[in-house]
Amino acid sequence: MSSFHRLWQKAAASESQRRQKFLKSEDIFRKSAFMIIQEMLKLNVQTAELTKVLVDEILHSIFFLGIICKPSYPPEIIVNDTKMLGKLREKFPRPFEFYSSQLPQRSPFSCVLDMIVTQAEDKENENQIKQKLQEFIRQLSLGNEKPLVSSTICVSQIPNSVRYYGVSMSSKGANPGRIMVAASCLETWDSCVADAVMTYYPPPSNRTSSFDGTLQLEGHVTCQAFRISDGIELPPCKSCKELFGLETTDISKWAYGNCAEAESLSNLFKKEEEVKMNVQPTSENYTEENRRTAVADVQRYLKQMLHEVQFNWDKNFYVPQ
């Protein structure tokens, strides 16, 4: 065999390996999506009146993330069971109608968290909620790679308040993650969390404002994250320290807004007005005008990313029903 031939064979083999690896990892997306939908449908049986809206929302969110994948996963590929697909279309027509034109407000696993909290006998029993989430993930029987599954949960509280839960972003890949953070800033999060995140988002090269909406949580607010897989307490990362003034010596830094702290604190601010009043940012760059520029930056960046993934946005966020 000539050395050229050997080289060619080697190149062909590694190309085929690369493709197989790619197919495998993409197939994990499909499998994960399908399993999560199945588990949500099972849970929904007990409380459909209350939780049907969460199934509607998660279907839209998963179908959206599927269609912006490369190669894309339309609903009929994700749910490759004709009978089940027909039933889903009949019961939940709107996610099928809007997944390719409207943006989800949250990543899928936030709907799973809401389902579990809604069904918990005691919503203040955080250990039970963590355990149920852990069980939910175990049921999916995925390997180490778990697309669409959050890795952390966060619990925030002030003395005598209820607990406010949140999970980390569960969208795989850089573009989907960035799209979901943009959607959360513009539509979903409480303004305190959105303002803090927009201080660092989008990245500097895409930012024209000098807006500073970072905040300092008061000492009586607790905000603790846990790894879902084993319940271990996790210190806040450096990004969360910069955003919310959380104490930490941890040096890891996740993308701003990706951590469970953001959703959990947003839920707390939405309900606890006094806390919200007392954390108003103090920077002189915290002005209405700077905020408008910051919002415009996020909108422009979002449009650019949606263009990259060839998504034709109708400017609406999906409202589950």
Q: Shortest approach of Zn ion to residue 68 CB, angstroms?
A: 24
Which range of residues in 1-9, 139-147, 210-218, 231-239 is near Zn ion by CB under 5 A?
231-239
186: tokens are: 């513009």
User: Which of 157, 258 has the CB closer to Zn ion?
Assistant: 258
* Three-state DSSP state, 211: coil
For the beta carbon of residue 217, count every other beta carbon within 10 angstroms: 22
Determine if 41 is a binding residue for Zn ion (CB under 5 A). no
Cβ burial 8-27 (10 Å sphere, 16+ → b, else e): eeeeeeeeeeeeeeeeeeee
Q: Shortest approach of Zn ion to residue 233 CB, angstroms?
A: 14
User: Which of 137, 223 has the CB closer to Zn ion?
Assistant: 223
Determine if 225 is a binding residue for Zn ion (CB under 5 A). no
Examine residue 159 and say whether the peptide bond preceding it is cis (omega within 30 degrees of 0): no
* Rounded CA separation 77/156 (Å): 38
Beta bridge partners of 157: 222
139 Cβ contact partners less than 8 Å away, ≥ 6 residues apart? 35, 39
Determine if 237 is a binding residue for Zn ion (CB under 5 A). yes
For 248, phi and psi rounded to 5 degrees? -165, 155
Q: Shortest approach of Zn ion to residue 22 CB, angstroms?
A: 30
Q: Shortest approach of Zn ion to residue 154 CB, angstroms?
A: 9
Q: Shortest approach of Zn ion to residue 253 CB, angstroms?
A: 8
User: Which of 36, 265 has the CB closer to Zn ion?
Assistant: 265
Question: In the bound complex, which residue of the shown chain has the CB atom lying closest to Zn ion?
Answer: 259
Determine if 193 is a binding residue for Zn ion (CB under 5 A). no
- Contact footprint for Zn ion (CB under 5 A): 237, 239-240, 254, 259
